[in-house]
Structure 1
């Protein structure tokens, strides 16, 4: 995957100078910088709280969709204890038996 970032020319000069000293590739410098940024954000309590709030909101939306679909279908598979697709067949046909 290509990830292009536009940076200020002064910062680019600093990066190029340090790259020359450290003998790192542009890719290595980018990966190092992004890894540090991600680690920093994951350690931020506010960011973690926002992430959890987003997960909880998505779970709420999924539950609403599940309820709406169950009402439309008249299905109660999730409350009957049966996993979807494990109940009786709707077609009424039975599987082939080796006894016949």
Structure 2
């Protein structure tokens, strides 16, 4: 399989996106030499390297801490937005969105279905 050929599994390919980092000519030459020895495509080598790097980074406690801080900041911002919307509406958005009438009654047009009219 060359770099330009499509893999046989179309479902897997549909989920993939192009990622084209710029690298030095020296690194490219090393990759090409190793690719020739191993028989792997540049895509396979790049995907393996990025997967290994991602696993290493995700195992770093400092990175995990930063990720959690980012999530907490997003939650804080969403709470601020919710409070602002509630203030504009003059009601609690959580109460209004969670209230569902037990009896649906007539529809928008005020008409009832056939079974309700009989």
| TM-score (ref. length: structure 1) | 0.82
> 1:94 and 2:106 equivalent?
yes
Which moved further from structure 2: 46-55 or 8-17? 8-17
Written as runs of structure 1 = structure 2, the 5 A alignment for 1:1-100 is: 1-79=17-95, 83=98, 86-87=100-101, 94-95=106-107, 96-97=112-113, 98-100=115-117
| TM-score (ref. length: structure 2) | 0.70
How many angstroms apart in 1 are the aligned matches of 2:49 and 2:27? 13
Instruction: List structure 1 segments (4+ residues) > 3 angstroms apart after TM superposition.
Output: none
When the two structures are aligned, how many residues end up with a matched partner?
94
State the structure with bigger RCO (CA 8 A, min sep 6), 1 or 2. Answer: 2
Q: CA RMSD in A?
A: 2.1
How many angstroms apart in 2 are the aligned matches of 1:60 and 1:87? 31
How many angstroms apart in 1 are the aligned matches of 2:66 and 2:80? 21
The answer for unaligned runs of 5 or more in structure 2 is: 1-16
Write the deviation string for residues 17-64 of structure 1: whole angstroms up to 9, x where unpaired: 111111001110110011011111101111111110000000000001
How many angstroms apart in 2 are the aligned matches of 1:31 and 1:71? 49
